[in-house]
Amino acid sequence: MSLFIAMFSFSLAMSISPGPVNMVIVSSGASYGVRKTFSFVSGGTIGFTSLLLFIGLGFSNVINLYPSFLKYLAVVGALFIVYMGYLIMTSIPELNIKKQKQPTFIQGFLLQWLNPKAWIACMAGVSLFSLPNSHQEFLTFSLIYFLVCYLSLFSWSVIGSKVAILLNSDFKLKLFNQLMGGLLIVTSCFLLYSQFN
């Protein structure tokens, strides 16, 4: 039972803590609501879980052999995160959702695969909850992480939708999107900086 609690606690801490994916979800929840943000939440959750399985079922050996891989990933990931930040900053603060570029399932999926924080979380989880001769413990951890991640990311969309109550004018929504997009860009710069120092 203590192993399940450890798996749950690790998954919750890594999923609920602020990061690039969560910032996009809050902004999308504020701009489009929970229902319209659900596809991005699903993309983020499935993207992360597939990355976790990819690393845990063998790719961690490649990363251990070539640790510079994470540095190259950090550059590509930072550029994608900056791009997502730009999309949020320049989104139109109107209630006509059809005109807007809301985040998609594919963007959520890709953002996890290009997010250095996600790779680090996966590597840490794999090292903590894997056994050399069996995948059973790791697969249990992956299932727990999938469920916790879905609930955590969904919670961020609900928070975003509640923030929307305060954003009752185009000006406030535009200011909020600029703030969230700017924070996303700053976060990507910090992630990149931390990889090279």
pTM tops 0.85: no
- Assess if residue 16 is contained within a domain: no
Is residue 179 assigned to a domain?
yes
SS (H, E, C) the chain: CHHHHHHHHHHHHHHHCCCHHHHHHHHHHHHHCHHHHHHHHHHHHHHHHHHHHHHHHHHHHHHHHCCCHHHHHHHHHHHHHHHHHHHHHCCCCCCCHHHCCCCCHHHHHHHHHCCHHHHHHHHHHHHHCCECCECHHHHHHHHHHHHHHHHHHHHHHHHHHHHCCCCCCHHHHHHHHHHHHHHHHHHHHHHHHHHCC
- On whether residue 119 sits in a domain, the answer given is yes
- Over residues 1-25, the pLDDT tens digits come to 788 999 999 999 889 888 889 989 9
The per-residue pLDDT for 195 is 67
23 found inside a domain: no
81 domain-assigned = yes
In-domain check, residue 4: no
Residue 182 clears pLDDT 90, i.e. is over it: no
129 belongs to a structural domain: yes
Mean pLDDT of 39-61: 92
Residue 2 in domain: no
Residue-level pLDDT at 94:
53
pLDDT of 156 > 80? The answer is yes
* Count: domains in the chain: 1
pLDDT greater than 50 at residue 35: yes
- Structural domain including 45 reads 37-195
